[in-house]
């Protein structure tokens, strides 16, 4: 299949524990880095509670706007894990036991351990395609362009490798970082000029604090290494002219 030049995605983080601050979200970073590496640009991230209507509305909106939607959370064995049933309703599909998933978990657990709570993890939209889980057995699933993954970061990360053949990306999104011992206000005007002259390249500036000193990381992102190199040379020109120190950032 021929790759599309531009492919985008949205990430939908589902869980009251994220919104309450009890749990930190690291899945966005993991997913975005992986998607960038296969040429899929994340253009929206949304965090929502475990409320069926909110999940359904969010999925139906995002799946029409983006090439791919990735959800995390809400596919476990407890009462508040309602993502799978909500996805079924979003697609107007029957919510039922996935026969292949049932066989996987039946083999995974010892005799007598595959209880009703664990069986909840293989209730999915009808004809959903499984996303295999090499860490804890319970699979994720996808329906059309919506991919549903668990919220536990280590498990989610372990499942991404099995998805690569299902995601058609564009050119990998490359990046280059220049770390400067300066403040944003000192380089804002010069950096704006570089961005204005290279509108098809994404340039961001991000302050950092290291060893008691303030600095700025300039990140240049593009699918074309030559464009990154060109922007980098322009930035280094004004950095040299302003006598700004380039630093290594740990």
The 3-state secondary structure of 68-93, one letter per residue: EEEEECCCCCCCCCCHHHHHHHHCCC
- pLDDT at position 1, please? 44
pTM equals 0.81
Nearest alpha-carbon partner for 143 in 166, 125, 163, 162: 125
- pLDDT at position 2, please? 47
Domains and CATH numbers, the chain: 8-166 (3.40.980.10), 174-246 (3.30.70.2860)
- pLDDT at position 113, please? 83
Q: Is 123 exposed, middle or buried (0-12, 13-18, 19+ CB in 10 A)?
A: middle
With b for 16 or more beta-carbon neighbours within 10 A and e for fewer, the 69-99 pattern comes to bbbbbbbbeeeebbbbbbbbbbbeeeeeebe
Mean pLDDT by 10 residues, the chain (250 residues): 72 94 93 92 95 97 97 90 96 95 88 84 94 90 96 94 86 90 94 94 92 90 93 95 87
Contact 205, 185 (CB under 8 A): no
- pLDDT at position 162, please? 87
């Amino acid at each position: 299949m021929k790759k599309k030049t531009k492919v985008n995605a949205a990430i939908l983080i589902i869980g009251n524990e994220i919104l309450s601050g009890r749990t930190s979200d690291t899945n966005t970073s993991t997913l975005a880095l992986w998607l960038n590496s296969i040429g899929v640009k994340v253009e929206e991230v949304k965090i929502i509670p475990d409320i069926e209507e909110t999940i359904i509305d969010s999925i139906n909106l995002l799946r029409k706007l983006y090439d791919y939607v990735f959800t995390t959370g809400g596919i476990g064995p407890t009462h508040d894990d309602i993502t799978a049933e909500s996805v079924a309703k979003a697609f107007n599909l029957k919510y039922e036991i996935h026969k292949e998933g049932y066989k996987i978990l039946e083999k995974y657990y010892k005799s007598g351990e595959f209880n009703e709570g664990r069986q909840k993890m293989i209730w999915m939209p009808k004809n959903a395609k499984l996303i295999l889980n090499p860490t804890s057995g319970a699979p994720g699933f996808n329906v059309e362009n919506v991919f549903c993954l668990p919220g536990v970061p280590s498990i989610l990360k372990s499942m991404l490798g099995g998805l690569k053949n299902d995601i058609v990306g564009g050119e990998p999104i490359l990046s280059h970082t220049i770390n400067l011992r300066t403040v944003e206000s000192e380089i804002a005007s010069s950096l704006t000029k570089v961005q204005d002259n290279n509108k098809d390249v994404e340039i961001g500036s991000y302050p950092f604090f290291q060893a008691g000193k303030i600095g700025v990381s300039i990140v240049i992102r593009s699918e074309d290494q030559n464009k990154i190199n060109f922007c980098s040379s322009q930035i280094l020109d004004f950095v040299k002219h302003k006598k700004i120190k380039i630093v290594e950032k740990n």
